[in-house]
Amino acid sequence: MKPLHALCLALLLLGGAETATAQRGMLGPKDGAGLPPMDLERVKVGSPDKLDIPDIFAMSQDDAAAVLFHDPARMKPDIAQMSDDELTATVRGRETLALLTWEPWMHNPKLKHRLHRVAMPALFVRGESDGLVSAPYMQAYARLLPKSRTATIAAAGHAPQLEQPQAFASTVLAFLEE
């Protein structure tokens, strides 16, 4: 792996490290275990009076799952089978996600004006059925980085690394081999 690509992989994987554990809380403690942290919701690209990212905290768990996953039924944790520790971890993950992202709503007001300085290549990946990060949002975000690319993975939602791990890995590895 080229050093520049290693740096790019770090950007891809560590860019959302602060919310990785929280995102796992939406899945349940076992489903997201061992996954690299990934996150995209960091800049405001739309008009000031509209949310770029839907407010999942105003949704029921089922509605949030429908926004997050291509196949929500397959990704739904079985809470009846979870231990008290697993349930606590799930709830705390969701609480942490709210604390880290709610204000300003899933974006850093300063980041948009700094991204033009990113000199390394960057890859933005979303699932085709992602109801959280829209294709126009991802494209607008990617345009803020001079050397970025986008990729969309079929039959996946906001967590393509979970729903389509082979396609996700192939996409990332192909990018790193360039």
- Dihedrals phi, psi of 103, to nearest 5 degrees: -130, 125
Q: Burial of 74 by CB count in 10 Å (0-12 exposed, 13-18 middle, 19+ buried)?
A: exposed
**pLDDT given at position 30:** 45
Report helix, strand and coil shares of the chain as percent, to nearest 5: 50, 5, 40
CA distances from 153 to 90, 169, 172 (A): 26, 11, 11
150: part of which helix (H) or strand (E)? strand 148-153
Check if the beta carbon of residue 40 is closer than 8 Å to that of residue 145: no
Q: What is the mean pLDDT of residues 148-165?
A: 91
pLDDT tens-digit readout, 111-134: 888 888 888 888 889 999 999 889
**pLDDT given at position 80:** 93
Residue 96 reports pLDDT greater than 90: no
The C-alpha atoms of residue 10 and residue 32 are separated, in whole angstroms, by 19
- Distance in Å from the first CA to the final CA of the chain: 10
- Dihedrals phi, psi of 21, to nearest 5 degrees: -65, -40
* pLDDT tier at 12, thresholds 50, 70, 90: very low
Q: What is the mean pLDDT of residues 36-40?
A: 48
What are the domain boundaries of the chain? 3-19+34-78+101-177
